[in-house]
Chain A
């Protein structure tokens, strides 16, 4: 099992559909026989990322690469970008509008949760251009 690639478009205008891609990835990984603990980490990290894309960036794309060793997710958007990445990574810090909080999100836990559940994570962002988040989860823990 090497080099399986999945691609998803995340629509930016429909909050009710946010998480569809993560749900599909979860199902696909289960069919590939990936351990449940690994699937859960991938699903949660990607779901948070997807929610971020819908709240902040009018949607985007997700590319998932599955190899024998790890699962890599690349979430790319052409949204407003993140001004201060360090601050955005701080638990509890949020720039989400109030209406998002009434939907159960915007607690400032998105990026911290994504970091928590992945083994590697990088955030590249340019204000006015967009954001790319790359996350990796190891299938077999590295020593």
Chain B
């Protein structure tokens, strides 16, 4: 799946400018608790969250994530968007709630990446 596929599945609006939607993603993670996100390392991940502070971008950056999806139609302020643009991270928002957004992506083949 690509970031573009996620955009279509979740009917997202892209927030960041000049970002690459063609990048491949294999795993995703949905959480409002950044410490829990940091507990599981997996390549090329997508972060779904309802949190919109700068630490969301920093967390995604530390984890080498390529895309952040804000659920429930949330949108961060300009500083946070800029932080993501500097790091080449795609930011999108969807009107779906967390559970539904995660379910739709799972249904389309995206996985958690840390199931045992």
Contacts and interface: CB of A to CB of B under 8 A. Distances in A.
A104 B53 contact: yes
Given A104-B32, A113-B35, A43 B56 contact: no
A106 B64 CA distance: 22
Nearest to A112: B39
Nearest to A46: B62
A104 B56 contact: yes
A63 B74 CA distance: 37
Interface residues of B, number: 21
Contacts of A43: 61-62
B41 A47 contact: no
Nearest to A37: B41
A44 B49 CA distance: 19
Contacts of B38: 44, 47-48, 109, 113
A51 B41 CA distance: 18
Given A22-B58, A44-B63, A103 B53 contact: yes
Contact of B41 (A15, A40, A101): A40
Contacts, number: 74
Would you call the interface of chain A mostly helix, strand, loop, or mixed?
helix
A104 B62 contact: no
A41 B62 CA distance: 9
A106 B55 CA distance: 13
B19 interface: no
Interface in A10-34: 15-19, 22-23, 26
Interface residues of A, number: 29
B34 interface: yes
Contacts of A22: 58, 62
Nearest to A17: B54
Given A104-B35, A105-B35, A23 B51 contact: no
Interface of B: 32-36, 38-39, 41, 49, 51, 53-56, 58-59, 61-64, 79
Closest 7 CB pairs of A and B: A19-B58, A104-B34, A109-B35, A107-B35, A43-B62, A104-B51, A16-B54
